[in-house]
Structure 1
Amino acid sequence: MKRIILMILICCACVTITHAQSVFKVVPLGVKGGIDESDLSAYLAAPAGSDDYICLDAGTLHAGIQKAIDRGTFHQPAGAFLKQHVKAYFISHPHLDHVAGLIINSPEDTAKNIYGLPFCLDVILDKYFSWQSWANFGDEGETPQLKKYHYAPMTAGAVTPIDHTQMQVTAYPLSHSSPYQSTAFLVNYKDNYLLYLGDTGADAVEKSDKLQQLWQTVAPLVKAKRLKAIFIEVSFPEEQPRQQLFGHLTPSLLMQEMQVLSGLSGADAMDGLPVVITHIKPSGNNEALIRQQVTRLNNLHLRVIFPEQGKPLQF
């Protein structure tokens, strides 16, 4: 009897530990960096145990939700899920592979906020939700305004509470083939964090300090083990010429940036840190090369994750 009671206590402790360690859930709706319009950058994020998601970029929505349904991740029709459970959009930059799902699904969506830095929202307002290219579902710009979406400009470095969720988000500018910009979003839930980077070049290539500033900001969170994961792009393998990166990373450039973060936070803090590789350009054998090269260069012992469309991640 004592042995049975001990086993029950051990099992209960394991359950408690697992629950305590799982703070966020992320469902990738799209993981690629081009070609396949049904699998473009979009990630749903919510606290573990909640179904109130924010969408980090929105290249693919309906097709990604349907993929998650097919995998058994979600259990209601894609349209109903989009309307009920996606509470807001965070767009890193206005390139089409990051906004196409938002634009195409807008007629069937419900009223929501679109968050982003002003440079990004201005393009969505002027170029996409204009009557020459699409109906204006926003609450600014060309008339008539259908006023389904509210533009919510963010201030870099300022914490923004997100309506209808338990999360807060802070935006930080990135360089994406200078002078063009992108954005990193730091998601906060009860002093635990996820860091999602839109497309970005390395500081050395971009002649920028945007990533250096970002790493200085999040290094204390890494050191304290409160940054639960980094989502960061690796668009091209090493074979891509530097002059043809167009504001993207390769495996070695990623690891150079991770070394900078390690120098600020300490190598021990980086050991096992989940790093999710996003935005792989799927041409040819790019994905296989990137997998091999990232694995080979991972001297920091990061927990490297290659996400799959519709398959949930827990952090």
Structure 2
Amino acid sequence: MALFNRYLIFFFLISTQLFAQKKAFEVVPLGVKGGIDETNLSAYLLAPKNTTDFICLDAGTINAGIEKAIANNTFTVSADEVLRKYIKGYLISHAHLDHVSGLIIGSPADSSKTVYATKDCMQMMEKHYFNGDTWANFGDEGPGFQIKKYHFQTLAFGEETKLTNTTMTVKAFQLSHVNPFESTAFLIKNEENVVLYLGDTGPDEIEKSNDLRLLWQAVAPLIKEKKLKGIFIEVSFPNEQPDNALYGHLTPSHLMKELTKLEEFAGKGSLQDLKIIVTHRKPPTKNIQKIKEQLKKENVLGVDLIFPEQGKRFDL
């Protein structure tokens, strides 16, 4: 009987561990770089595991990224089907072109869906892009003739919003991207699992801001509860970039300083093996590689650094 109980406890522990490691989300990077490569700019498809109900996190490159994913056998359907049927909507962190150009250019071929952004970001897109002059207004708000293909939905900071045609919700948090200009972090939730995606942001000490500190305080409980599956966060420049030329971005050293602050809220050792998806590395190639090397060298927190590749699926 004692032996039986030991086996029972053993199998219980194993099954518990496997359950804890169960993947909750699928990610398909459509674009992973910052900078000048217009075929590979920030855009990440995120869906609950074993579904095709993707939300697109930023939209710098869409079509070229879908074609790359098809070439990698990540998708086995046409690019048109991925664009029109798999992508259920777009979460736009800020209105810089390297985060929205794929959405703009792809809009004539796209299907009806929702574009989510905060008030300032949405107003910039309506004023400068979907305005009837620079580009046709494919939305249902803003100037000029409204084609009404896209529903423009404004997100209020800190409020949970249902992502239409998915089982996911989103909560927006303010970021500083060359203070006083805004960017956005999105906390995406499906059932009890969450992912955090940050648009472009500089470190608090350079931005003279508390935005990252407030964000870390908000997500620390999710780390303690083992609900946070990963953090997408940018590192645009290697450490050699001077602070006065960061332009609202992070370096490896600044990222690790910020993650150390997060660990202070979540508890010592709490970030061990937490997946950190490194986004927005800027060319040239030598800098992209240098960022990777510097992050690995400075990773005293033991986070699981992920360097996404365009068109290659991974799970969280």
TM-score higher than 0.5 here?
Answer: yes
Which residue is equivalent to 2:269? 268
CA distance in 2, matches of 1:20, 1:166: 21
Which residue is equivalent to 1:241? 242
Match status 1:51 vs 2:52: yes
Report how far residue 223 of structure 1 moved: 1.1
Which residue is equivalent to 2:232? 231
CA distance in 1, matches of 2:233, 2:59: 16
Corresponding residue SS for 1:145: coil
Report how far residue 288 of structure 1 moved: 1.2
**Residue identity matched to 2:165:** H
Classify 1:19/1:273 alpha carbon distance in 2 versus 1 (closer, same or farther; 3 Å).
closer
CA distance in 2, matches of 1:53, 1:284: 30
Report how far residue 17 of structure 1 moved: 3.0
CA distance in 2, matches of 1:285, 1:74: 30
Which residue is equivalent to 1:144? 145
Counting aligned pairs with the same residue, the percent is 50
Corresponding residue SS for 1:205: helix
Which residue is equivalent to 1:70? 71
**Residue identity matched to 1:123:** M
**CA offset digits 1:17-52 (Å, max 9, x no partner):** 379611011111000002110100000000001100
CA distance in 2, matches of 1:196, 1:269: 19
**CA offset digits 1:46-82 (Å, max 9, x no partner):** 0001100000000000110111111111011111211
Which residue is equivalent to 2:158? 157
Report how far residue 143 of structure 1 moved: 2.5
CA distance in 1, matches of 2:176, 2:20: 37
CA distance in 1, matches of 2:290, 2:37: 19
CA distance in 1, matches of 2:298, 2:144: 53
Corresponding residue SS for 1:188: strand
Match status 1:300 vs 2:301: yes
Which residue is equivalent to 2:3? none
**Residue identity matched to 1:176:** H
Report how far residue 142 of structure 1 moved: 2.2
Corresponding residue SS for 1:214: helix
Corresponding residue SS for 1:163: coil
CA distance in 2, matches of 1:45, 1:19: 20
**CA offset digits 1:246-280 (Å, max 9, x no partner):** 00000000000000000010132210000010000
Unaligned stretches of 5+ residues in structure 2: 1-6
CA contact (8 A) 1:182 1:199 kept: yes
**Residue identity matched to 1:211:** L
Show structure 1 runs of 4+ deviating over 4 A. Answer: none
CA distance in 2, matches of 1:291, 1:140: 42
CA contact (8 A) 1:171 1:184 kept: yes
**Residue identity matched to 1:143:** G
**CA offset digits 1:211-255 (Å, max 9, x no partner):** 000000000001111100000000000111110000000000000
Which residue is equivalent to 1:88? 89
Q: How does 1:1-315 map to 2 (within 5 A)?
A: 17=18, 21-315=22-316
CA distance in 1, matches of 2:40, 2:102: 10
TM-score, scaled relative to structure 1: 0.94
